[in-house]
Amino acid sequence: MDMQRSDTAIHSSTSARPAPAPAKPPAPDDFRELTQLIERLHRRFLDVLRAELDRLEVHDINPVQCMLLSNIGREEINVRNLMDRGYYQGSNASYNIKKLVECEYLEQKRSPRDRRSTLLRVTEKGLALIARVRDLEERQAKAITAFAGDGSVGGALKLMRRIERYWDDFIEGRG
């Protein structure tokens, strides 16, 4: 019986995994590469959107304007709130909104509560395009998950959200 206990103890101790090594801080070069990769991925996604817009034969708006529509979605949103979300800068947003209104993807009206404020709403034409872009995003998500592994995309998303919160805190003087 003592022999069984000692065999079990030996077996369980050899099958136990070693404790993970403590994480070492990233090298400044790794951090710089991370920030550059974030920017490159954003630009590459705009290229993906450009290719999809071409495939869909949508030539009256560009990928940034398509993302703006997608970010608004079914909301009725104040222009200021859209810019506060951090997606767009002032003149850039104004130009893109004007273009989307001209091409009938977006409607613009004065807020009934604050006449100085402008509300935006995506039109049916815009919603139809958003639905097609959502199909693209779904195909892309499935493909990336297939080659990256089941939890990889979620893990990357979680990390990017933590970086965003950290940078927000830093900007606000809390980090």
* Residue-by-residue DSSP string for the chain: -HHHHHHHHHHHHHHSPPPPPPPPPPPHHHHHHHHHHHHHHHHHHHHHHHHHHHHTT--SS-HHHHHHHHHHTT-EEEHHHHHHTTS--HHHHHHHHHHHHHTTSEEEEE-SS-TT-EEEEE-HHHHHHHHHHHHHHHHHHHHHHHHH-TTHHHHHHHHHHHHHHHHHHHHTT--
| Count: domains in the chain | 1
Distance CA 63, CA 46 (A): 6
Residues in the chain: 175
- The model carries a pTM of 0.74
Query: 120 or 94, which is more confident?
Result: 120
Distance CA 145, CA 139 (A): 10
Residue 39 lies in a domain: no
Residue 1 lies in a domain: no
CA dist 155 to 82, 141, 168, Å? 27, 13, 20
Residue 26 lies in a domain: no
- Asked if the model's pLDDT at residue 50 lies above 60, the reply is yes
Residue 4 lies in a domain: no
Residue 82 lies in a domain: yes
pLDDT by residue (tens digit) across 6-45? 444 444 444 556 666 666 666 788 888 988 999 999 899 9
Residue 111 lies in a domain: yes
Strand partners, 106: 122
Domain extent, residue 86, equals 46-148
Residue 15 lies in a domain: no
117, two tokens:
């404020």
CATH code of the domain containing 113:
1.10.10.10
Per-residue pLDDT, 21 = 64
Helix axes 63-72, 90-102, angle to 10 degrees: 90
Residue 173 lies in a domain: no
Q: Which of 107, 102, 101, 105 is nearest to 119 (CA)?
A: 107
